[in-house]
Structure 1
Amino acid sequence: MAQRSIPCPHCGTQIDPREDSCPWCGTKRPSLWARLTGGGARGDGDRFVKAIIAANVAYFLLSLVVSGRGEWSANPLSFLSPDQRSLMLLGATGSVPVLSFGRFWTLISASYLHGGLLHIFFNMMALRQIGPWVSAEFGANRMFAIYTLSGVIGYVASCLAGVSVTIGASASVCGLIGALFYFGKARGGSYGAAVSREVSGWLISLVLFGLIMPGINNWGHGGGVVGGVVLARVLGFRAQSRDSAGQRLLALACAVATVLALLWGGLLAVTVIFL
């Protein structure tokens, strides 16, 4: 039986899975990690974005279970809201959890916690729109590293600014926006200019939204954007270089750290609430 072809991780050409390297561009066969993350062919990182969204939804549902009930308020902003105790146990971050109690792992877990149905809906809609675009230009490995680390940078900025408690994926999503902004400026040309214009509109909207709406963590948003720009500059994008072994290792380290943080938060919450 003939074996199905696989995409080259660099040029996207379909090649024989028995080949050790692409006969067209010379790139070595995709690793298991590249295949799992969808980082093999251009645009396939969409699957990895869906995995991140699934993790956010699963952790949100866990927060409702740990709460015992979601808030069924008529106010849409607080509809299906986990209680504060559950959010703290599961890994809300901020100056109190991090600086007062040394819960540094919450700098990762907080990006997977949300305060209500609308909160997670809008964050995941933004991630679903922006994530595949960043993955197409940077690759799935670099996209996930930017997503994770820019979220951490945004929450570190929040802690230093004195934000006591905060949650949400918006710092990480803002990191992806920052990465796209850098890409547009560095890429140049008509395409780069078009990317810069669109992303600039998003950045302006973020600033206005943060000024108008109460309770918005502007420090987290701003730190995430700056983190995304810096990380994009350091890691580079696909038009500049292909994924390196170090970048793949960084993405794997981010994935392991994320899984451990979420498992630890879930274990703590379940132990305290149910045992």
Structure 2
Amino acid sequence: MTQKAMLCPRCRQLIGSEESVCSWCGAQRSSAWWRPTAWVQGGVDGAWLVKAIITVNIIIYAFSIILSMGRGNAAGLLTMLSPDQMSLMLLGATGTEPIDGYNGYWTVITANYLHGGILHLIFNLMALRQIAPWVTQEYGPGRMFVIYTLGGVCGYLVSYLAGVPFTIGASGAICSLIGSLLYYGRSRGGVYGATVFREVSGWVLGLALFGFIMPGINNWAHGGGIIGGIVLGLLLGYDERSKENALHRLLALLCAATTVGVLGWRIFVLVARGIGH
């Protein structure tokens, strides 16, 4: 079968119909996402990666609802759409209670994929869908995922040090993406950099105001995520200064393996024990 011209999954340049690799960056045109070489050699599509993060969040949310129903917590519509606190704790909510009480240090990863209700999930995924492609454009998909994962961890570590007892949500990881754009805009400079910095600064101001007005918002995780994103942006660099390389994609692979491993382990344990028991 004759292959068609396509955009490179790594650098987004055009790959000719007769080319097996991208002449711009050397990425394979057909690297399967599940192969380590697809991550290390740059074959993972940034758009696919954002969709994968969104899909995992939805799957974990659905499982948390099923777990709550198994525990007899489905009395009404609102309850059905909001997992109970014990179910979230079993799946990996973080804070001083699970970390100090149960040595749940791994929860700083799992909590990024847990949500307390359908609106919580929708708002976070809408923000992720808007911000992650922008970060992917400036940093590359591998570095974006490293920032998302490690920045979320930074946010929850700050939250833990501040004494927050129980917390969940992807907003800390999303704030780390915002932090990386803050660094990018300030570091790049020029008209475009100033525009990026100004727009993202507006998001930060809006987050701060929303956090102080609305109850139950974990401002520590938000602030820690933003700081983590700034630091990671500085350490990892962005495409205009240094192209994404094999080390960046290897770090992304390690972040993905750790995330999938921990989430899969929690689901396996709960299913093996019998959901809700």
- Per the normalisation by structure 1, the TM-score is 0.89
Is the CA contact 1:154–1:224 (under 8 Å) kept in the aligned structure 2?
A: yes
Indicate whether 1:83 and 2:81 are aligned: no
Is the CA contact 2:180–2:233 (under 8 Å) kept in the aligned structure 1?
A: yes
Specify the alignment match of 1:122 in structure 2. 123
Specify the alignment match of 2:93 in structure 1. 92
Report the Cα distance in structure 1 between the residues aligned to 2:226 and 2:202, rounded to whole angstroms. Answer: 14
CA separation of 1:17/1:249 partners in 2, compared to 1, >3 Å: closer, same or farther?
farther
Specify the alignment match of 1:47 in structure 2. 48
Q: What residue identity is the alignment partner of 1:245?
A: A
Give deviations 1:73-105, integer Å, cap 9, x for gaps: 66xxx7711011110100101111113321121
Specify the alignment match of 2:247 in structure 1. 246
Report the Cα distance in structure 1 between the residues aligned to 2:51 and 2:74, rounded to whole angstroms. Answer: 25
Specify the alignment match of 1:29 in structure 2. 27
Report the Cα distance in structure 2 between the residues aligned to 1:182 and 1:64, rounded to whole angstroms. Answer: 37
Report the Cα distance in structure 2 between the residues aligned to 1:214 and 1:38, rounded to whole angstroms. Answer: 45
Q: What residue identity is the alignment partner of 1:261?
A: V
Report the Cα distance in structure 1 between the residues aligned to 2:266 and 2:74, rounded to whole angstroms. Answer: 19
Question: What's the CA shift for 1:268?
Answer: 2.8
Give deviations 1:197-238, integer Å, cap 9, x for gaps: 110000001111111111111110000000000001111111
Unaligned runs of 5+ in 1: none
Report the Cα distance in structure 1 between the residues aligned to 2:53 and 2:76, rounded to whole angstroms. Answer: 26
CA separation of 1:17/1:37 partners in 2, compared to 1, >3 Å: closer, same or farther?
farther
Specify the alignment match of 1:3 in structure 2. 3
Specify the alignment match of 1:150 in structure 2. 151
Q: What residue identity is the alignment partner of 1:201?
A: G
Report the Cα distance in structure 2 between the residues aligned to 1:17 and 1:91, rounded to whole angstroms. Answer: 48
Specify the alignment match of 1:259 in structure 2. 260
CA separation of 1:198/1:59 partners in 2, compared to 1, >3 Å: closer, same or farther?
same
Give deviations 1:177-200, integer Å, cap 9, x for gaps: 001111111111111111111100
Indicate whether 1:182 and 2:183 are aligned: yes
Is the CA contact 2:41–2:249 (under 8 Å) kept in the aligned structure 1?
A: no
Specify the alignment match of 2:197 in structure 1. 196
Question: What's the CA shift for 1:130?
Answer: 0.5
CA separation of 1:270/1:233 partners in 2, compared to 1, >3 Å: closer, same or farther?
same
Specify the alignment match of 2:68 in structure 1. 67
Specify the alignment match of 1:225 in structure 2. 226
SS in 2 for 1:133: helix
Specify the alignment match of 2:103 in structure 1. 102
- Per the normalisation by structure 2, the TM-score is 0.88
Is the CA contact 2:32–2:43 (under 8 Å) kept in the aligned structure 1?
A: no
CA separation of 1:246/1:171 partners in 2, compared to 1, >3 Å: closer, same or farther?
same
Bigger drift between 61-70 and 135-144 goes to 61-70
Is the CA contact 1:67–1:83 (under 8 Å) kept in the aligned structure 2?
A: yes
Aligned pairs, number: 267
Give deviations 1:24-76, integer Å, cap 9, x for gaps: x4x323365575799659xx5122111100100010000000111556466xx
Runs of 4+ in structure 1 over 4 Å off = 16-21, 31-41
Is the CA contact 1:59–1:112 (under 8 Å) kept in the aligned structure 2?
A: yes
Question: What's the CA shift for 1:240?
Answer: 1.1
Question: What's the CA shift for 1:2?
Answer: 2.7
**Root mean square deviation, CA, Å:** 2.4
Q: What residue identity is the alignment partner of 1:88?
A: M
Q: What residue identity is the alignment partner of 1:196?
A: F
